[in-house]
Structure 1
Amino acid sequence: MFNIESYSIGVFIVILISGCVVNFIRQHYIIQLTGIAVLFTGTVLRLAHFVNTNMYTSLIDAYNISLPMLSGISACLVSMALGFWIFPVVRKKRLK
């Protein structure tokens, strides 16, 4: 059976790892902000499509549909925070 929580944790881990790889680029925040915008737009579009196709929607259904993308957005935000906090030191050591 499909478990939405484990899938969302997997999405979080994959996007966090790829966000940390992107942090080696000097202007990493542009790519990460674009990722957040794409995930947010995808969440809104999926929820709008779900509400239009289903007459009776519950809050738990909307939560289950948006949870993987919201975990991706949070992973982008965490990797962006790491990019501003830890990765400048790593980039300086890598350039030496």
Structure 2
Amino acid sequence: MSLRRSRCIRENCAACQSGEQHQSYVLYGRANGHRVAVYVPEELVPEVQRSLDNGRALQDLLHQAAPRYIKALKRARARAAKRDED
């Protein structure tokens, strides 16, 4: 999510003429191989930011868990193979 500044469509807008422009939050992502942008109303910014932070934390946990899970599967397979030999 990022804060962007852009001009508006009004001809004599004081904010645009001063260079301040208008700020708004946009969430960027990809859908079907294309970049998409979704406007985020200011009152929803904290909730959307919290969701993004939680998603990143979950992704980190999954990256940590995957190798451990694979090792556990390999150990279980080795134990099963050893039992079959006996």
Q: TM-score range by the shorter chain?
A: 0.3 to 0.5
Structure with higher strand content: 2
Structure with higher helix content: 1
Q: TM-score normalised to the size of structure 2?
A: 0.35
Structure showing greater radius of gyration is 2
